[in-house]
């Protein structure tokens, strides 16, 4: 309900709505970007790029229900493009994997040592598996939604998820 209200305010050109969207979802978006990129600085750049593009097109927004899901998909896509452009070097990212900090209770939980181990283990996965796991667990997207967004079959998405989870178990 809040997403629909914010989306309508964005369509009406309300600059405060854009600020509210940013503050409401920035930690979630940063976490998704960091999980896909395995580099906190690159994740910050990713979220910045997505919000800059989002702000430029806010008046033409076609999202009315799930603004969070839309932004999560935008961040995941941008992160994937950054990897393809070799913006992030995998070997450096794995060594330097960091958990995004937050002042929220959820952010503090992420910063625990156990979460850091999981985050670093995620960095060891192929980007396709990391992306599906992150979108499913953190962005709370269904496998069907992920399949539609990424343009793959639901079986492919489920396989990437299963193989990724199995590799995480061995790494942890």
* pTM across the whole model: 0.69
The two tokens of residue 148 are 């539609």
| Domains defined along the chain, listed by start | 2-123 (1.10.1740.10)
pLDDT at 2 exceeding the cut of 80 = no
CA atoms within 13 A on the CB side of 144: 0
Q: State the Cα–Cα distance between residues 125 and 154, nearest whole angstrom.
A: 20
pLDDT tens across 132-160, in order?
998 888 778 889 988 887 789 999 999 99
How many angstroms from the chain centroid is the CA of residue 42? 12
Mean pLDDT along residues 7-27:
85
The residue written with tokens 């309300």 in the block is: 14
Q: State the Cα–Cα distance between residues 45 and 60, nearest whole angstrom.
A: 23
């Amino acid at each position: 309900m809040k997403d629909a209200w914010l989306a309508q305010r964005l369509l009406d050109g309300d600059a405060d709505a854009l600020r509210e969207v940013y503050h409401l979802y920035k930690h979630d978006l940063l976490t998704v970007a960091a999980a896909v990129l395995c580099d906190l600085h690159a994740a910050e750049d990713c979220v910045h790029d997505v919000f800059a593009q989002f702000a430029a097109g806010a008046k033409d927004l076609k999202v009315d229900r799930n603004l969070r899901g839309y932004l999560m998909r935008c961040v995941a896509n941008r992160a994937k493009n950054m990897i393809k452009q070799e913006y992030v070097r995998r070997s450096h990212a794995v060594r330097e994997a960091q958990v995004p900090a937050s002042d929220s209770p959820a952010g503090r939980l992420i910063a625990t040592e156990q979460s850091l181990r999981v985050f670093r283990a995620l960095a060891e996965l192929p980007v396709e598996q990391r992306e599906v796991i992150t979108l499913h667990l953190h962005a709370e997207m269904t496998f069907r939604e992920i399949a539609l967004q990424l343009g793959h079959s639901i079986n492919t998405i489920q396989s990437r998820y299963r193989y990724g989870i199995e590799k995480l178990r061995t790494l942890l």
